[in-house]
Amino acid sequence: MKSHLPRIVTICAVIALFAVGNAYALQTPSARDFDAEIRAAVQSAKTAAGVEFLGTLTRLCLLPQSSAEDTTDNVPEFVRNPSGAPARETWYAEPARVFDNLYFVGGKVHSAWALTTSDGIILIDTIFPYNSEELIVGGMRKLGLDPKNIKYVLISHAHADHIGGAEMLQTRYGARVVMGAADWDAVAKYPNRYKTMAPKRDIVATDGMKLTLGETSVTIWATPGHTPGTLSYTFTVFDRGRPVNVAYSGGTAFNFPNRTPNPGIRNFQTYIDSQKHMAAQAAATGATVILSNHSEFDDAYNKNRMIAGRGNGPHPYELGTESVQRYFQVMENCARAAQIGLERDLTKAAQ
Ligand SMILES: [Zn+2]
């Protein structure tokens, strides 16, 4: 028996070496095929996009991203020189009653929504300073709503295309303004950037906060990523008396700092986690409608015109729970594809 020992030792050594070699191969970063992983993530996003979410897919997975941290504090050109603001025909859209208690008062590209309750109006997002007067105040009047009844203004995030009318609505109508803490901080930090758009610090939203007005509640979800304070919402609207659940996605594009692995990988993870969080809330509430604050994402501008021809057919905004889930999968997978690209950069830098 003794004579067999050296051979057994040799076999064991070979097996051990093989195992170590394999483990080494698995741990070697170059073993990852980053391009294949990116292609797979983009393909998952394309599959999830279906025919409904091509705008979101294009913006997040296909178009180049703006990605630098903006630390400048300049007065925007459209505030400094209002006559130089984009021409009306580029943004004007007719207001529309979309559900029994939800009205569109936005423009061609950016949306604002008035949710009516038994005790006043909750306004969601406020577009730009140069068009909030005509689209929101004028649009509400056109639809028979009195802007004086706006009790709450929810700002999904503090970018000029959504916070533009918040200061005016707070000052003129005494509306309470709700925003995420980090975005309130940004408004305070950059007085020039937010000139004419800076409501006085008011209600700081927290994850799961319920805002109730009359018989209507909006649940607020913290979905950091697009900005650190981005908020999303779930609420119920009515379609010819039938309750319909809505998921409102508050921030979409990847214009947070993401050019370099640090902090880009972490920032994409924050964004991805938020999409998972919001998808779970949409699932829990049975959301069949996805709304956004850009019409390229929820197709609001086109759908508002389709409502007129609906007859007794389904509501054009109501896509079903499965489609709403796919919306968040588009966001998540496009973010993952971009994150993998940064993981590749990190690996290359380490080699
Ligand atoms: Zn934004």
Residue 149's SS3 state is helix
Residue 9 has pLDDT above 80, yes or no: no
Q: Specify which of 69-83, 144-158, 289-303 reaches the highest per-range mean pLDDT.
A: 144-158
CA of 39 to the centre of ligand 1 (A): 27
* CA–centroid distance, residue 96 to ligand 1 (Å): 23
Q: What pLDDT, on the 0 to 100 scale, is given for residue 150?
A: 98
- C-alpha torsion angle, residues 192, 198, 203, 206 (rounded to 10): -50
Return the SS3 of 65: coil
List phi, psi (to 5°) of 47. Answer: -60, -45
Centre of ligand 1 to C-alpha 158, Å, is 7
Please state, rounded to an integer, the average pLDDT across all residues of the chain: 92
Q: What is the pTM of this model?
A: 0.90
Q: Vertex 230, ends 319 and 340: CA angle to 5°?
A: 80
Banded model confidence at residue 4, pLDDT cuts 50, 70, 90: low
Predicted confidence at residue 306, as pLDDT, reads: 92
Q: Which chain residues have CB less than 5 Å from ligand 1, an ion?
A: 159
Distance of CA 157 from the midpoint of ligand 1 (Å): 6
pLDDT for residue 99 = 98
Closest CA to 335 of 65, 109, 69: 65
Decide if 183 contacts 229 (C-beta within 8 A): yes
> Do residues 111 and 233 lie in contact, with contact meaning Cβ atoms separated by under 8 Å?
no
Residue 231 has pLDDT above 70, yes or no: yes
pLDDT digits (tens, 9 = 90+) for 139-189: 999 999 999 999 999 999 999 999 999 999 999 999 999 999 999 999 999
Phi then psi for residue 28, to 5 deg, are: -70, 120
